[in-house]
Amino acid sequence: MTKINKMTKMLVSLLLVSLAVLAPVSALSLSASAGSGSTGNPLIGTGGFSVILDNAQVTNDNGQVELTFTTDNSATNIAGDLFDFDMEIQLSGDGINGVNTKTIPFLSNGNSLDSTWSISFTLDEILAEGTHNFNVGFEILIPSSGISMGDVSELIELVVGPAIPTNMEPNLITADLDEDNLNPGDVVELTVDLENGLTDYEDVNVEARIIDSNNERVGDKVEVDIGHLETDADETITMSMALPSDLDTGIYTVEIVATGDVESGSVMYMNTQLDAETLNFDVERHDHSLTIDSVEHNSNTEAGDTYSVAVTVTNNGLNFEENVVITVSMAGATTTSAVFDIDENDEIVQYFNLNVPSDAQNTEVLTVLVNGEDTSARYTANVNVGASATVSSAGLSATVDSVSKNIGSEGEAYMITLENNDDSTRTVTISVGGVQGWASTTITPTTLTLAPGSSGVASVYVTPSSSAEGTNAFTVYVSEGNQVISSVGLTANVEDAANTMTWILAGIALVLVAFAYNQRVRPATKGRRRAKKVYY
């Protein structure tokens, strides 16, 4: 890898004045050209073309030279229209046999007026460490004839630094897994020790990810920012990664990579790899295993409020699980599900409402326990208590057009308005819980991206099942990533479809009776016939 220890920048201006004539930098526009035989170019009416070389560097382990430049094209022909031409970029110098060229077309449709370009030239030879000279040229050509309308070149110097070793600090990482035989849905617990040597590192970051036998990532990667790592310093961190509940059995690998910035001589290496480590573990299904796939809840609430929690549990074991109970608790308030059974590979969702005690404050711990006869699972999360509704939603507010609606057999839409009160763009996902067994829902759209200060509307269309009736409660959740940041409790009053149809049929019957009676008592009309109209 190479680094530039000097930024090279030049400004050149190729004005389309006359053939092979370089105009001064300050002359950025032209008047109408003179006729044939004068010093003007008969192809050009007005305007000009300029190019600025912003940066040049040797990249990809000394294998390429990359040029970054900006163009500005306002040249028109005598009729005042844009016209086609090519810009040829030429590079020669150390590591290049002869001259390498690249061509960029500038078309009359205006697709290349003001643009920034990055062009890479492959070197014929790997450059040694040190300073190297290159000549960069730009030339304007008429495509059909190859006639040059102007060219410019500049000599630049690029510095190639020493090659970076694969690992700057071998033996920096020592890692260990708490368990190396896991079940789908389990959590991989990882301990990483960093034992530094004689070099200071800045902006140190440790990243861990799980990959399968096809080298594809499984689940989310995790990162820990260490910052400054001093000479002879030791750091210990723990990292957790959840396995998907439907993960196939087999051997998986945890990859741990530490990166950081380090200065070597006159060169600063940025975000370079310091060390790497891998650990393997087995995934196999246990005889008895219940996993908590997800717990949907708001990370903020207020004392005295009703707090909604949705828990999804999966039986990942090889056996039928009986007498399973879910317990949800926070700030001394506890609620428990009814006892239920769950078959192998099945998933169940349970919904809970906690009454947050009035004396709850600051940070409380939400705890979810799933207990079976032969297995259990646990989930904990911190919940902020006492913030206002808007602040508690981390800069995002959610309102609904009506918290309770009467729903017929064809369904009804609830309109959710989300407003981003934060100073950064937010992408949120809308989901619904609590409708299983009595209704289906359609969410449009499921994801909203909100710029600062903007708002968006999502429709939650609820369609009751044929057997649904009475008052039914459900919850709309607003999530950002894997975190629920807001929830709205709603109610649907489902009208009895059978009773509704009975009244409709009764009404139709009454109309038919009235019509028959009217026809019977109305006197006959004589001497009048309705005209028959025929259309051809």
Q: What is the mean pLDDT of residues 302-312?
A: 87
Query: What's the rounded Cα separation, in Å, for the pair 206 and 476?
Result: 36
Residue 87: partners with Cβ closer than 8 Å, 6 or more residues away: 51, 71, 103, 104, 106, 138, 139, 140, 141
Residue 405: partners with Cβ closer than 8 Å, 6 or more residues away: 412, 414, 490, 491, 492, 493
Query: What's the rounded Cα separation, in Å, for the pair 8 and 69?
Result: 11
Contact 245, 317 (CB under 8 A): no
Query: What's the rounded Cα separation, in Å, for the pair 198 and 211?
Result: 32
Q: Is residue 485's pLDDT more than 80? A: no
Phi-psi region of 203 (alpha: psi -120 to 50; beta: other; left: phi over 0): left
Q: How confident is the model at residue 512 (pLDDT cuts 50, 70, 90)?
A: low
Q: How confident is the model at residue 109 (pLDDT cuts 50, 70, 90)?
A: low
Residue 172 token pair: 């920096």
Residue 420 token pair: 């981003």
Q: What percent of the chain has pLDDT over 70?
A: 77
Write down the pLDDT at residue 343. 93
Q: Of 66-70, 157-161, 245-249, where does the model show the most confidence?
A: 245-249
Answer with the residue of higher pLDDT: 389 or 298.
298
Q: Is residue 496's pLDDT more than 50? A: yes
Q: Are strands 470-480 and 426-433 parallel, antiparallel or unpaired?
A: antiparallel
Q: Is 498 helix (H, G, I), strand (E, B) or coil?
A: helix
Contact 82, 76 (CB under 8 A): yes
Query: What's the rounded Cα separation, in Å, for the pair 58 and 512?
Result: 90
Q: Provide the residue type at 108 as one letter.
A: S
Measured CA angle at 438 (ends 294, 433), to 5 deg? 25
Write down the pLDDT at residue 141. 82
Write down the pLDDT at residue 340. 94
Contact 226, 277 (CB under 8 A): no
Residue 123: partners with Cβ closer than 8 Å, 6 or more residues away: 58, 62, 63, 64, 65, 95, 96
Q: Is residue 532's pLDDT more than 60? A: no
Least confidently predicted of 1-5, 143-147, 187-191, 457-461: 1-5
Q: Is residue 313's pLDDT more than 80? A: yes
Write down the pLDDT at residue 4. 32
Residue 462 token pair: 């609820």
Write down the pLDDT at residue 114. 62
Query: What's the rounded Cα separation, in Å, for the pair 292 and 44?
Result: 72
Query: What's the rounded Cα separation, in Å, for the pair 509 and 495?
Result: 22
Write down the pLDDT at residue 3. 33
Q: Is residue 252's pLDDT more than 90? A: yes
**For the purposes of burial, counting CB atoms within 10 Å of the CB of 33, is it exposed (0-12), middle (13-18) or buried (19 or more)?**
buried
Write down the pLDDT at residue 535. 28
Q: Is residue 473's pLDDT more than 50? A: yes
Q: How confident is the model at residue 508 (pLDDT cuts 50, 70, 90)?
A: low
Residue with tokens 């030049």: 10
Three state DSSP letters for 509-531: HHHHHHHHHHHHHCCCCCCCCCC
Q: What is the pLDDT of residues 345-373, one digit of tens each?
A: 898 999 999 988 877 778 899 999 999 99
Q: Is residue 33's pLDDT more than 50? A: no
Q: How confident is the model at residue 518 (pLDDT cuts 50, 70, 90)?
A: low
Predicted TM-score (pTM) of the model is: 0.44
Q: Is residue 424's pLDDT more than 70? A: yes
Residues in the chain: 536
Consecutive H or E run containing 309: strand 306-315
Domains, the chain, with CATH or none:
10-160 (2.60.40.1940), 173-283 (2.60.40.10), 290-387 (2.60.40.10), 394-494 (2.60.40.10)
Write down the pLDDT at residue 359. 72
Sheet containing strand 148-160, edge to edge, reads: 99-106, 85-93, 130-141, 148-160
Q: What is the mean pLDDT of residues 406-430?
A: 88
Q: What is the mean pLDDT of residues 184-198?
A: 92
